[in-house]
Structure 1
Amino acid sequence: MNDFPSTRAPRVYVGRQPILDGAGALAAYELLFRDSPDNRARVHDDVQATAHVVARTVGEMGVSAVLGLHPGYVNMNRELIFDDIVHLMHPERFVLELLESIVFDDALFKRCAQLRREGFRFALDDVTRIDDTLLAALPSVDIVKVDLLAAERAELPELASIAKKHGKLLVAEKVETHEDFIEARDLGFDLFQGYFFARPQVLSARRASPARGTLLRLLAVLGAEPGLRELEAELKRNPDIVLQLMRLANSSAHARGRRVSSLRDAVAAAGTRQLMRWTQLLLYADGSGLPWRSDPLLQLVGARARFMELAAHALRPSDEAFSDAAFMAGVFSLVHVVLDMQPAQIVDKLHLAADIRSAILGGEGVLGALLGIAQAAERGDARAIDTCRLAEPALDALTPALLARLQVEAAAWFAGQPLD
């Protein structure tokens, strides 16, 4: 029986762009209006666009699925600030972004003060210079978002200084290059948003973790289908990994009303299949102490792998081995980033199956096409998605509507839902 609903059912979409802190951890999302799986904004009415974003996030997809544990920034124009739609959003989960086109006057400042007393935070969006509008608005907002592309670079130090003197959180928008990030960080910006962070290559310089060699050995042990005693012995040699695996196990077990308190419990509760998956994902954790779901690269690869697994299941519901291979292809498609080696070296070192190897290195076969779809979906490239689908006739069942649904499910799985 097909586990997926009819693709004729109407679909809803929400875009989201990560906002990171200076350590590279995910701090928030900006939520964006989308009306199709094609990741492009077609906004004809600001009020309607924000209403759709709020309704879909709160009522249809669910806040936890879209945001996980992080706050969401939502664009608000003047009309919406005075509308009851504000009260559909929980103040602790949403930041209200005042659009650059908004008219500031006493009525607006009074409304902002009222909503701030209720717990809401306001962000002033697309700031580019110091002017009377900025100075008048500063007392009514909590966050200042500076557009690095449009701002005069010579004015940035004074702009940052004024915002900081007023006690405001500073967000650098449209961070396009490593140099942009370094400059903004040195000027005291707190959070960062932009295309630079969407590229996993930016994280290739992260400090090598001594645990990664151990993780590779553990993967080899898991691949040999060990007994419980042998697996426990291997894990006990690596207490740091055990600690992380216990956290991962509890993130799943807690949702089922029980608590994993021992290594044996964790292995028994998860099974070697899930343990293998978690170990694969932990290759991307950098050992810096970041909560694992706050690491942007770990989030990217986890959502990619889950998306590919779900797509594989949709194609072959009874073929568990195919779903596992799709998950592994997604995971190891980015492992060269953290191990600072060429992809071919990595897949040879891991002794990956031929179909996974050819998918990662050459985009070949059904797995290669699935990987191409996953990568294109992350970029919002509808044309590339169609090209990958057409390359393999077996992928006809993966309609745009179904792929959009799987993206939401994959994001929810990694954003804090049980790891089923």
Structure 2
Amino acid sequence: MSERHPLRSEPGHVEVLAYGADSVDPAAQAQSVSQFVYLGRQPILDRDGALNAYELLFRSGAHNYAEVSDDAQATAQVVARTIGGIGVPAVLGPHRGFVNIDRALLFNDIVHLMPPERFVLEILETVTFDAQLVRRLTELRRAGFQVALDDVSELSKELIAVLPYADIVKIDFLQTGRAALPRLASIVRGHGKTLIAEKVETRDDFMLARELGFDLFQGYFFARPQVLAAPRNRSPRPALLRLLALLSRDAGIVELEAELKLNPSMVVQLLRLVNSSAFGLGRNIASLREAIIATGTRQITRWAQLLLYADGDLPWRADPLVQLAGTRSRFMELAASWLRPADDDFADAAFMTGIFSLVHVVLGSTPAAVLDKLGLAPQIREAIVSRSGPLGTLLRIAEAAGEGADAASIAAGPDVPAGFAALTPEVLAELNLSAAAWFGAHIEEAAA
């Protein structure tokens, strides 16, 4: 984490509102906190002074300093605000974003909401490395992520041991003794790692870092963090959960129509989806009741489940959470149909398991706490919470396939139900492609 102490930002031009602390009225700020989401970003420059990336920082308001009581929660907010609240194009432009991440979040699904080509995982200095973490970092790097080690200030046995599992090393110029810098930088470069000089506050620091061969630079000498803000999205997710509860107990058309009418924005989204050729109706639907009757509750359920993950300010096709939920659930449905071709109920349950395996990320809770309120079938709940049963095995396979890991070894494992060995690497590759194609075709048409 590159921040040293609370300092004010200099305002700059971005696509969304940007604040300098001198312009903030405390009373107005308090009123606006509930209306806006905030995010800090600090430039990371290359040797020629050109912008290379940003470090993304938690901000609770327009004031330009962090008030962090929980590292995991702060990172989750940064990711959510970058992807859903403000938007990746407005925050990062064509550049990458460095995100501070602790041990708990490294093992959390929120990591996979970040496109690996756009985000760098910056491992906090408080994280302890062990065999389990090394395996996880290997998986994440195989999936395309770059890993940065944060706040390095000394050459230690621990640093040497973890260098093989990182791509970038950020050396803290405030904490590192000047006499130790040359050897530290030389050894890290000798391991083929990108070197970032962070907390560079003077021209002398910058010139020394350049002389020592550092690749990138960050600090108050170049620019202090800037606060970005955008209007807070008012999500219809509670309404969608109520709708899904009605659908799960086979509520009648009158009840469904009444619930939908309470949420005009959801009706607009649903009618747009219904009128798309994804439903194959061949005609436009003009009324809510006609839409319900024409499409059937099964299709409405599926689209409502996907809407649960969609952010109103992002196109569906570009929303990583929708993409992850949609492709995972479709993959599980296709795999279930491959295993049991005549069992539509199993395929439907597999789709729902995939969808609801991520709902805790949306609601900022735990899987058990969220699922207990939804009244899902026990086999779906247990599949998500404990990865048990055939659906739990399918979920583990889908997660591995989505991360580029060896899903076939899970399908062929000794502890899986009979028949899963039919999911060979060739079959899984085909299912992955089919799920991605389904998502691309259906979502793009629905968003048109």
TM-score range, shorter chain: 0.5 to 0.7
Partners of 1:249 and 1:236 in 2: CA distance: 16
Identity of aligned residues (%): 49
> Matched residue of 2:267: which SS?
helix
Change (3 A) 1:157 1:279: farther
Q: Is the 8 A contact 2:54 2:96 kept in 1?
A: yes
Partners of 2:386 and 2:233 in 1: CA distance: 27
Of 217-226 and 390-399, the range deviating more from structure 2: 390-399
Question: In the TM superposition, what whole-angstrom CA distance separates every residue of 1:106-163 from its partner, at most 9, and x where no partner exists?
Answer: xxxxxxxxxxxxxxxxxxxxxxxxxxxxxxxxxxxxxxxxxxxxxx955278213xxx
User: Which residue is 1:269 aligned to?
Assistant: 294
Partners of 1:301 and 1:332 in 2: CA distance: 8
Q: Is the 8 A contact 1:284 1:338 kept in 2?
A: yes
Partners of 1:195 and 1:189 in 2: CA distance: 10
Q: Could you tell me how far 1:388 is from its partner in structure 2?
A: 4.0
Q: Is 1:309 matched up with 2:218?
A: no
Q: Could you tell me how far 1:268 is from its partner in structure 2?
A: 2.3
Q: Is the 8 A contact 1:249 1:266 kept in 2?
A: yes
Q: Which has the higher helix share?
A: 1
Q: TM-score, normalised by structure 1?
A: 0.53
Q: TM-score, normalised by structure 2?
A: 0.50
User: Which residue is 2:348 aligned to?
Assistant: 324
Q: Is 1:201 matched up with 2:92?
A: no
User: Which residue is 1:234 aligned to?
Assistant: 259
Q: Is 1:381 matched up with 2:405?
A: yes
1:59-138 aligned at under 5 Å gives the runs: none
User: Which residue is 1:12 aligned to?
Assistant: none
Alignment-mate amino acid for residue 286 of structure 1 = D
Partners of 1:195 and 1:257 in 2: CA distance: 46
Gaps of 5+ in 2: 1-14, 17-42, 59-74, 83-87, 115-229
Partners of 2:321 and 2:337 in 1: CA distance: 24
User: Which residue is 1:334 aligned to?
Assistant: 358
Question: In the TM superposition, what whole-angstrom CA distance separates every residue of 1:238-278 from its partner, at most 9, and x where no partner exists?
Answer: 11111111122123457554223321232123210011111
Q: Could you tell me how far 1:194 is from its partner in structure 2?
A: 8.2
Alignment-mate amino acid for residue 110 of structure 2 = Q
Change (3 A) 1:396 1:211: same
Question: In the TM superposition, what whole-angstrom CA distance separates every residue of 1:274-330 from its partner, at most 9, and x where no partner exists?
Answer: 11111111111223x222222111111111000000110111111111111101110
Q: Could you tell me how far 1:335 is from its partner in structure 2?
A: 0.6
Q: Could you tell me how far 1:208 is from its partner in structure 2?
A: 7.5
Question: In the TM superposition, what whole-angstrom CA distance separates every residue of 1:216-244 from its partner, at most 9, and x where no partner exists?
Answer: 11111111212222221221121111111
> Matched residue of 2:46: which SS?
helix
Change (3 A) 1:187 1:317: closer
Change (3 A) 1:174 1:328: farther
User: Which residue is 1:190 aligned to?
Assistant: 93
Q: Could you tell me how far 1:407 is from its partner in structure 2?
A: 0.8
Structure of greater relative contact order (alpha carbons < 8 Å, 6+ residues apart)? 1
Partners of 1:321 and 1:314 in 2: CA distance: 13
Q: Is 1:403 matched up with 2:428?
A: yes
Q: Is 1:221 matched up with 2:246?
A: yes
Of 195-204 and 258-267, the range deviating more from structure 2: 195-204
Q: Is the 8 A contact 2:408 2:424 kept in 1?
A: no
Partners of 1:157 and 1:295 in 2: CA distance: 34
Partners of 1:268 and 1:156 in 2: CA distance: 62
Change (3 A) 1:236 1:255: same
Partners of 1:246 and 1:279 in 2: CA distance: 11
Q: Is 1:356 matched up with 2:265?
A: no
Q: Is the 8 A contact 1:172 1:193 kept in 2?
A: yes
Change (3 A) 1:263 1:188: closer
Q: Could you tell me how far 1:395 is from its partner in structure 2?
A: 0.7
User: CA RMSD, aligned part only?
Assistant: 3.9
Residue in structure 2 matching 1:159, options 47, 50, 65: 50
Change (3 A) 1:232 1:394: same
User: Which residue is 1:245 aligned to?
Assistant: 270
Residue in structure 1 matching 2:441, options 404, 416, 420: 416
Gaps of 5+ in 1: 1-21, 24-151, 161-170
